[in-house]
Amino acid sequence: MSGKTNWIKVSADAQARLINSIPVKWRIAPDKMPPKSRLDVTGFPAESGILTQHELDITESFATDIVRKLIAGEWTSQEVTIAFCKRAAIAHQLTNCLTVVMFGDAIKRAKEVDEHFAATGKILGPLHGLPISLKDCFNIRGYPTSVGFTAWALDPVQTESTVVTLLKKAGAVFYVKTNVPTAMMFAESVNNCYGRTVNPFNRNLTSGGSSGGEAALIAMRGSCLGVGTDIGGSLRIPAACVGLYAIRPSYGRSPHFDARTALAGQESISSVNGPISRSLADLKLWMETIISMEPWLQDPKALELPYRAISLPHKLKLAVLWDNGMVTPTPPVTRALKSVVNTLKVKGYEIVDWPSKDHSEAAIICKKFFLADGGKSVSKVLQKTGEPWRPELSDYKRATDMDVYDLWQLQKERTILQANYLKRMVEAGIDAILGPTTAYVAPKNGELGTVSYTNVFSVLDYSSVSFPSGLKADKDLDKRLVDYIPLSDMDTLTQEQYSPVDVHGLSISLQLTAKRLQEEKLLAMVEKIGEDLVW
């Protein structure tokens, strides 16, 4: 087969390898597969007959609760791991969320964890025996790391990402890797190798990207805690699409060394690792664990900054970003933001409005950085198998090289913007900025057109959490906007594509953002806000 068409065979082989990695007894029989017309498949695992009631109980539990039972000896790592392997297999068959299955090695590792505990009475670490899912970009020896490219889909890597090494040392068990967009550089998880991951609450909608496979898997309870990356919103946007929690730490708080990326060497805006889960406590468990493993001893760019105890101010002062000056939030998001703000005012929070100053400039800077190499990094990988460009990467295909002088000037512009933004935050005396995670609840597949609510904080390198507001979209309350003035062409398109019926009943997420390296304070603030949001 010629190089120009080799990608087709690689894709077929990769997909065959993936489905064949799922034991036959864990596959959904054709006559029991839910029809395409059934959009919400989150309840199907309980109906499938593949999981026992005990396995359902395990997979419905939060990571913190599972670790507690593992450490107490109430559950074994092997039974927990098998339960999540089975549920992940079901989740994949319904949402196409996986790229790599490691069930055999995972169960073997879980058995070893249990044997160690039985022999010594000691745990391996704070994540003793806990199954954790990984975004496709993290390297595990003996398995491929494709990041959405056919060129890398069948080649097992020989290295191990630092975060994998540290989590393993903490006691974690790895069993699956999850789907991403080609190159991980757009906000929906679809590629020419594995296809599209869909939202399990409505399969006509996207689960976001680039950590969309993680989001779909966790929403299906096929994982209790996953690790993703975020360079422009790649953790926060998927979390928002399915109503999960995710944190984007500032660069250096979590180890990113030796994770595969399509834009290796692009460090003007750095990608960061972070957790995604169904509870805030699980985010905190991950952050405390990974920092306790002293990543600065293995990752040359990790900061020697131990996890800190935090006492919040008696009265929090929050700035509210109602819109970013580019795209108006769709009606459910605006309603949730208003409701949360009104509740927090009653609870005694000091609330001020926050202007969208610098946001459009930051979005432009972000895009220029990503395209600075003229798309060469992506193109060179595609060429290896003759893989065609995805339409979502059209900007990369058309891009031209930025010379070094212009790149330096752009970096200077970014740093000035960072300084000005910090000055405004300090002068305003605010603890955090509250606003939308995205303009959407969750758009239709192929219609997530803007990441401008998240990428500004990547440019600033601020700590940011996406969290469910506690409210759900309502087709009767959240009608389409009428008689409004669009902020941009993208705003017009976003409002035209918005469907109150499609998102009815889905969780609405918001974003809380603090200054750089304020992860502990940020998590504490989100926890307090959650306690105060009693609807």
Statement to judge: residues 346 and 278 lie in one domain = no
For residue 233, say whether it is annotated as part of any ligand binding site: yes
CB-based contact 451:370 (threshold 8 Å): no
Task: Read off the tokens for 421.
Answer: 């933004």
Q: What does the pLDDT look like over 399-414, one tens digit per residue?
A: 999 999 999 999 999 9
Domain contains 47: no
Inter-CA distances, 404 with 8, 401, 410, 415, 491, Å: 37, 9, 10, 16, 34
User: Which pLDDT belongs to residue 534?
Assistant: 76
Instruction: Give 230's strand partners.
Output: 272
Q: What does the pLDDT look like over 207-249, one tens digit per residue?
A: 999 999 999 999 999 999 999 999 999 999 999 999 999 999 9
Inter-CA distances, 141 with 104, 158, 174, 242, 362, Å: 14, 5, 12, 31, 38
Statement to judge: residues 326 and 419 lie in one domain = yes
CB-based contact 345:351 (threshold 8 Å): yes
Statement to judge: residues 219 and 335 lie in one domain = no
- C-alpha span between 433 and 323 (Å, rounded): 12
H helix count then E strand count, the chain: 19, 15
Statement to judge: residues 219 and 331 lie in one domain = no
Statement to judge: residues 355 and 241 lie in one domain = no
| Catalytic annotation, residues | 135, 210, 234
**DSSP-based three-state secondary structure for 37:** coil
Is residue 535 over pLDDT 90? no
Task: Single out the residue of 5, 180, 34, 163 nearest to residue 97, CA to CA.
Answer: 180
User: Which pLDDT belongs to residue 4?
Assistant: 58
Q: What does the pLDDT look like over 119-147, one tens digit per residue?
A: 999 999 999 999 999 999 999 999 999 99
Inter-CA distances, 231 with 146, 210, 441, 488, Å: 18, 9, 20, 24
**Whole-structure pTM over 0.85, yes or no?**
yes
User: Which pLDDT belongs to residue 1?
Assistant: 42
**DSSP-based three-state secondary structure for 434:** strand
First and final CA of the chain: distance in angstroms? Answer: 61
Is residue 162 over pLDDT 70? yes
- C-alpha span between 303 and 375 (Å, rounded): 31
For residue 232, say whether it is annotated as part of any ligand binding site: yes
Phi-psi domain of 91 (left: phi exceeds 0; alpha: psi -120 through 50; beta: other): alpha
For residue 234, say whether it is annotated as part of any ligand binding site: yes
Is residue 2 over pLDDT 70? no
For residue 184, say whether it is annotated as part of any ligand binding site: yes
Q: Tell me the torsion sign for CA atoms 471, 473, 479, 485.
A: positive
Host domain of residue 442: 317-533
Q: Tell me the torsion sign for CA atoms 277, 283, 288, 294.
A: positive
Number of domains, the chain: 2
For residue 231, say whether it is annotated as part of any ligand binding site: yes
Statement to judge: residues 327 and 274 lie in one domain = no
Statement to judge: residues 121 and 185 lie in one domain = yes
Find the CATH number of the domain harbouring 501: 3.90.1300.10
Domain contains 16: no
